[in-house]
Structures are given as C-alpha cells and as structure tokens.
A = this chain, B = another copy of it.
Amino acid sequence: MKWRTIFPFLVWGREYDRGLLAQDMLAALIVTIMLVPQSLAYAMLAGLPAHVGLYASILPLIAYAAFGSSRTLAVGPVAVVSLMTAAAAGAVAAPGSLAYQQAALALALLSGVILAAMAILRLGVLANFLSHPVISGFISASGILIAVSQLRHLLGLEARGDTLSELLPQLAGNIGQTNLPTLAIGLMSLAFLFWVRRRLRPLLVRVGLAPRLADILAKAGPVFAVIASILAVRLFDLTASGVRVVGDVPAGLPPLALPSFDPGLWLELLPAAVLISLVGFVESVSVAQTLAARRRQRIDANQELVGLGAANFAASFSGGFPVTGGFARSVVNFDAGAATPLAGAFTAIAIALATLLLAPLFADLPQAVLAATIVVAVLSLVDIGAMRRVLAYSRSDFAAMALTILLVLLAGIEAGILGGVMLSLLLFLWRTSRPHMAVVGQVPGSEHFRNVERHRVVVSPTVLSLRVDESLYFANARYLEERVYDLVAARPGIRHVVLMCPAVNFIDASALESLEAIVHRLHAAGVEFHLSEVKGPVMDRLARSDFLQHLTGRVFLSQHQAMRELDAATSEAAASAAGPATGQAG
C-alpha cells in the first residue's frame, strides 16, 4: 500500500492496455507540438539559451510520470516560474553568463530539495497561506510584467529589469533604436498567433474538418509561425538587417551532470527557491485537482510535492531550470485523451527526438517570434474579471490583491508575494480580532433568541444576553472584555451576563484569561457571568482548567434555559429586596 503511494505507476500500470497506450501516444503528440515552441520561449523568458527549455522538457517529464499523482498534469517550463527564475538568477549573475546558467540549475536543485522536504515534513499546507486573491493578483501582474519584458525582443532594442519601474524608462529611452525588420516580424507573429488562437479552430470546423483535428491544428499555430519565420530569416538573410535569432543550438541530448556545489550561492538563492517551489506547487496542484475531479480521480497533494520535487531534481541534473505543471498544456493533454502519466513520458521522448533532429533548425528562429508566443500566452494570465469579482465580493481581499499587483509590478515578484501574504494574514487577524457580537432577546412566544437591533424581541432588564460569532483567541480576547464592560457599564440594572457561544469553536489560553478577568471584575461589581450553548470540545477543554470552579455563574445548555432560570431568580431577588435599584453596584 505504501509503495503504491510512492510509485503511483504500480496502481495505473496494472490496468494498462493497448487502448490506453493509443490514447496516451496521441495526447503526447499534441502536447509536444504545443510544448516545443513554448519551451524555447520560456527559456528565453528565463534569460537562458533557448535549448535549455527543451532540456527542461525531457527528464523532468519522465520523473513526474514516475512519481506524480495526477494522471494528466503536463509538466515543464511555465511562464511565471520562468520569470521568477530570471529575477532570482539575475540577482546573482549576469544574463548570458555561465554563472547565470549555474544559478538556474541551482534553483531547480533547491526547488527539488524544498519540495521533497515539504513532502517529508508534510508541509504542503504551507501553500494554503497563499490566498487566492494573492495568487490571482500575482499571476495577473506577472502576465503584465512578462509581456512588457518581451517588448524589447519585439522591438529589437535593449531594456532589462525585474520591475516596470526599471523596464519602462529603458523602453521609452531606447525606442529610437527599434529594429524595423524585427518589429515587422514581431507584429506579424502577434497578429497571426492571436488570429490562430481566436479564429482558426472555428474556421477549420466550418470548412469541414473534424473538431478534433481542427483542435490539433489550432494548437500547432506557434509551430507554423516558427517554421515560417525560420524560412523568412534564411530567405531574406534577415540577421544581416539586425534581426536577432536564437543562434547556435547544441545538437544532441541534454548533458547529464551534477549542478555545481556552492553553498554560498544556494543560501543566496534559497528565499527565491522557496517562493518558486510554493508558487509552482500551488499552480500545479490546482490544475491537477481541476482535471482529476472531472474524472472523479484523486490528487494526493503530498505526492504532488514528491512528483514536482523529482521533476526539478531531474531538471537540475540535465541542464534545465525550474519546472512545474502548466495550465494550458495540461488541459490540452486532458482533452487529447491522456489516460495515464505515460502520456508525459511519451511527450518527453517526442521532445528528445525534436531536440536531436530539429535543434539545428532553431538557430535561425527570430527571438521576436518567441517573444510573440510568450506575449500571446501570458496576456491570458491577466484576469481582469477576477479583480472585478474580488472587488465586488470583499474589500479586504481586494486590498491584498491590489497590494500584490502593485508590488509585483513596481518592487518585484518576491516583494509582491510576501507583501500580499502578510497583508492577507493581517487582514484575517484583523477580521477575527473584531468579531461580530449581538445583544440578543427572546422572540416572543418561542425559544429563539435574536439580535435586538434586527428583530422585535423581549429583553430582560436584569439579564444581558450576548452572542459572540467567532472563536475566542488572543487577538479578540481583549475586544470581548471591552465590549462586555462597556455593555454592563451602560446598563446599571444588569445583574447577570450570559455569553452565548454556539459559534465559538475554540477558546485559547488568552481568551480563557479574559473570561476569568470578566468573571472576577463583573463579580466585584455585583454582576454574575454565565455561558450558554458551549460546544462539546470547547467544554471539554474548559474542564481541563479551573475556570469552571472560578465561574461565579453557570453554564447553561441553552439560552432559553438560562433566561428561564436567571430571569426568575432575578425577579425573586428583586421581589424580596426593596427593588431592582439595589442590584446596582456602588
């Protein structure tokens, strides 16, 4: 059983047959057509030679196929992680240098170690602290940042940086150096790719192609652009006109080598590697879960850490850079009928073949075409609809999202994620630190108690019933105290306070201390404090302290019971004494 968790192929391998094989091979073919130009482009985005993207799409896919728990996730270089790699490697070495490539390898290695460590320590939950508005804002902002960073390739000029504040002035300053042939290639590629993306499939279907074939041809759009532009460069000798091309691509398969051992470098790259791992993991798991749920399959988040960790290890040993599960290609893989992770392994083989046979052709591929591929791909990451939805739903969530977007664009990726996470945490604490509390009264003729401000209810002159709609813990304990004191101070006739706890899921030691303080202080002022509707686990825990011994009041099973007994008791006391005024403290 244990082995089957660690090696998922022991499960799906037993039911494998010729039908599944055909499905997987077809899916692999379609994904390969899509992945070859993307791999080249994302390597360029990461500041690496284009062929590194192919290397990162071979062994990592086989490693994920062996260990991943998703049957349809397609792994490889993705846009956001490539951007993060560029930022991290660019901080320690100059793009184009050997040190830069080594930094990218080290990032993949660290990412593998971090993901594996998270799997062993069961720390996959850490990813949960990346809230959805933060991730969504981060990805949208990354999309914008990536698109802007590619303008230099589309215009054929120089502009480098990790933020808009670095990129935009350079683009504006160097706009005069725009290379017109490059710009022409870039614009034509953009137009063609957008047309393919939006119009080609319906057109093909209309002219009579089978929808399946139309799909495949539409996905192959970037491949046509790649081929056409290579031909154009060769025919018109465009490199002589200043069109930058990918340049010599080493023939053959990726070299198998250990990344250089450099603890100083690793320590420097560690924070970036943690973020790369977390972001990659979150993206990948949410794609995998979406696809798995459609077939009622299960994703084991911990096993996903193992799979992605293995993929990054493989990338670091085979001349690649950090990889993760990609959204678009996984959907394509799923739609093309991929049945098992073998589809990923077949994709790896197909890409290896492409690397062996086609690599020399890519030397004349214009960078502007790759940049156009990137721009078309990442603009779909910018999700204005999500921003609008979050704004309509919750201003505090939108604040976290907006801060993330602004920081990513203006201060960089790491600042964006960290700032967004910190703000979400603070806003969550802020929210729970001021819980909703309602003074409640009895709905006439019923056993129900409702907020006095919203309903016509009966209120006792001597018993204050207060419902708190939140667990009690350190950040709201003092707020509770203050509310209780204020309410009692404003109602001199009160003899009893009953705190209704139906929504209190736990009471921590700070809140317990506050409750004890409330008991003592109210008692000193002649007011008894009671609880009602306390949940079982909360009551069990209270019994472990001496709070229940110190509680001068009682714990009632229901608010109705509390009112029946306390209101009667107060009435009797009031009847035997001179009047209710004697109930006040001095």
Q: State the A residues within 8 Å of B (CB).
A: 125, 127-134, 285-286, 289-290, 293-298, 301, 389-390, 392-394, 396-398, 424-425, 428-436, 469-471, 473-479, 481-482, 485-486, 488-489, 502-503, 505-506, 508-510, 512-514, 517, 520-522, 524-525, 535, 537, 541, 544-546, 585-586
What CA separation (Å) do A555 and B289 show in the bound complex?
Answer: 25
CB of A528, distance to nearest CB on chain B (Å) = 14
CB pair A390–B478 under 8 Å, yes or no, is no
Q: How far, in whole Å, are A368 and B177 apart by their CA atoms in the complex? A: 79
Q: Which of B132, B425, B513, B541 contacts A477 (CB 8 A)?
A: B132
Which residues of chain B have C-beta atoms less than 8 A from A424's C-beta?
A: 474
CB–CB B429/A129 < 8 A: yes
- A293 touching B525, Cβ below 8 Å: yes
Question: Whole-angstrom distance from the CB of A353 to the nearest CB of chain B?
Answer: 35
A404 to chain B, nearest CB (A): 13
Contact A502 B502 (CB under 8 A): yes
The answer, among B392, B432, B469, B508, for a CB contact under 8 Å with A545, is B392
Q: How distant is the Cα of A129 from the Cα of B478 in the complex, in angstroms?
A: 10
A435 CB contact (under 8 Å) in B127, B133, B478, B505: B505
- Number of this chain's copies in the assembly equals 2
A128 B476 Cβ-Cβ under 8 A: yes
Q: Are A544 and B293 in touch, CB under 8 angstroms?
A: no
Ranked nearest first, the 9 interchain pairs of A and B with the lowest CB-CB distance are A293-B521, A131-B474, A132-B510, A397-B509, A296-B525, A132-B513, A131-B510, A294-B524, A393-B545
CB-CB under 8 A from A436, the residues of chain B are 505, 537
Given A389-B545, A509-B132, CB of A524 within 8 Å of CB of B293: yes
A535 to B474 Cα, complex, angstroms: 24
CB contacts (< 8 Å) of A489 on chain B: these are 296-298
A391 shortest CB reach to chain B, Å: 10
Bound Cα distance from A424 to B477, whole angstroms? 14
Task: Assess A503 versus B503: contact at CB under 8 Å? Given A128-B476, A433-B125, A436-B537.
Answer: yes
**Cβ 8 A contact of A128, one of B474, B508, B585:** B474
Interface SS of chain A: helix, strand, loop or mixed?
helix
A sample of 30 inter-chain contacts (CB < 8 A) reads A125-B430, A125-B433, A127-B478, A128-B433, A128-B478, A129-B474, A129-B475, A130-B474, A131-B474, A131-B509, A131-B510, A132-B477, A132-B514, A134-B474, A289-B485, A289-B517, A293-B525, A295-B525, A296-B489, A298-B489, A392-B545, A394-B509, A425-B425, A428-B473, A428-B475, A469-B505, A470-B471, A502-B502, A502-B503, A503-B503
For the complex, what is the distance from the CA of A524 to the CA of B503, rounded to whole Å? 33
Q: Are B393 and A289 in contact (CB under 8 A)?
A: no
Q: Which chain B positions have C-beta within 8 A of A522?
A: 293
Among B128, B133, B398, the residue within 8 A (CB) of A475 is B128
Report if A290-B125 is in contact (Cβ < 8 Å); known contacts: A389-B546, A393-B509. no
Chain B nearest Cβ from A32, distance in angstroms: 27
Q: Determine the distance from Cα of A544 to Cα of B398 in the docked complex, in whole angstroms.
A: 14
| Residues on the B chain within 8 Å of A545, using CB | 389, 392-393
The contact of A544 among B131, B392, B546, by CB within 8 Å, is B392
Q: Are A508 and B397 in contact (CB under 8 A)?
A: yes
Return chain B residues, CB-CB under 8 Å to A535.
469
Bound CA–CA A398/B389 (angstroms): 41
Q: Residue of B at shortest CB range from A521?
A: B293
Extra contacts besides A296-B488, A297-B489, A428-B473 (19): CB < 8 Å: A125-B434, A127-B478, A129-B475, A132-B474, A132-B510, A132-B514, A133-B509, A134-B474, A289-B481, A293-B485, A294-B525, A295-B525, A298-B485, A389-B509, A392-B544, A393-B509, A431-B506, A435-B505, A470-B505
